[in-house]
Amino acid sequence: MWSSRIFKKNEMKIYQKIAALFLCMMIGFFQQDLQAQQLPFYTQNQDTNAPSFINGDYFKYDLPTQAGIRYRYQWTQVEGAPRTLNAHFSHWNEDYNLSLGGNLISDQTGPTSFTGIYGKAAYGIQVSRGVLIAVGMTGGLVQYRINGEELHFLEPGEEKNGSLTKLFPDFGAGATVYIDEKYYFGITIPQVFGLNLDFRDEQNSVNTERVRHYYANAGAFIPLYEGSFLEPNVEVRYVENTPLLIAAGIRYIYKENFWVGVNGTSSRAAGVDAGVMWGSGDNLFKLGYALTNYFQQYGPNFGSTQEIGISVSW
């Protein structure tokens, strides 16, 4: 593996300070008045929107390839609440420092929905001993749909039948720094170009705008004993005209048997994350479940968010 060479202690301290300073700068930069968080937020496998992120099982178990599928049901007590299905694949080739992969995503929220297929690629630059910078891009095609029969803001007596659809290209970019195969921090812009979707027919027009998101994240894969790990992580999300979102969590992984974790966000959400693992040294299967509850002091109770996923690494 590319960072099997050991760091000198003074070098390691310098890089840790750089990582901490970077995260503080990103949080400070995003402290502004912040349209809605429009992209799905995953409790598990948060690398969906990050083209430069290398599968964590490569660092922990030397398994460079991963494929999986997950389903997320957000706000279970709200009619028409977001439901997202995502299938993903990624492979890291350490001989060429090249990552390839893709995602297929389908999201339904009330009368609106979108389906997208993406490919992604990243290249790793070995800048010094134990330090790798992965720079990646993602590109795909997205179909946006609006079900006119579910729209309720038309004039009395006016009814819109059928669906309005549009196809758009979608691109993202990001960079992640990896230190000694234990620590990482990065930035991602999953939608480099904001989209202004204007659905029109002979009688009606519906306009919806998708704005750019900006993410900063940091975390670590900390080995403990006998193949166990501790994984802390933090993510900052910025979207124009919405509150800044900060999410943090920590997960304990017991060998290749199970994991448990807790997480929370600045939007007064807290959750638990657990799963089981099984397999041989050449492959590893995972089945995970995450539950999130919201504890806001005002407004209606939207219910919980649930997420389930299965994956295999080899």
Query: pLDDT exceeding 70 applies to what percent of the chain?
Result: 73
Q: Is the pLDDT of residue 2 over 80?
A: no
The count of domains in the chain is 1
4 falls within a domain: no
2 falls within a domain: no
Q: Is the pLDDT of residue 161 over 70?
A: no
3 falls within a domain: no
Which region among 11-20, 189-198, 226-235, 295-304 has the lowest average model confidence (pLDDT)? 11-20
DSSP string computed for 122-167: EEEEEEETTEEEEEEEEEEEEEEEEEGGG---SPTT----SEEEEE
Consecutive H or E run containing 83:
strand 83-93
Looking from the CA of 229 toward its CB, the CA atoms found within 13 Å total: 23
Query: pLDDT exceeding 90 applies to what percent of the chain?
Result: 54
95 falls within a domain: yes
pLDDT in tens, 82-129: 899 999 999 999 999 999 999 999 999 888 888 999 999 999 999 998
Q: Is the pLDDT of residue 190 over 50?
A: yes
Q: Indicate the pLDDT class of residue 280, thresholds 50, 70 and 90.
A: confident
220 falls within a domain: yes
112 falls within a domain: yes
Dihedral angle, C-alpha 262, 20, 245, 263, nearest 10 ° = 0
First to last CA, the chain: 15
Q: Indicate the pLDDT class of residue 168, thresholds 50, 70 and 90.
A: confident
Domain around 161: 9-313
Q: Indicate the pLDDT class of residue 31, thresholds 50, 70 and 90.
A: very low
178 or 3: which carries more pLDDT confidence? 178
288 falls within a domain: yes
Which region among 12-26, 146-160, 229-243 has the lowest average model confidence (pLDDT)? 12-26
Q: Is the pLDDT of residue 293 over 60?
A: yes
Distance CA(110)–CA(56), nearest Å, equals 34
Residues with Cβ within 8 Å of residue 279, at least 6 apart in sequence: 256, 285, 312
pLDDT at residue 49, as a whole number: 77
pLDDT at residue 34, as a whole number: 30
Which residue in 276, 223, 274, 267 sits closest to 248, CA to CA?
267
Q: Is the pLDDT of residue 16 over 50?
A: no
235 falls within a domain: yes
177 or 243: which carries more pLDDT confidence? 177
CATH code (residue 116): 2.40.160.40
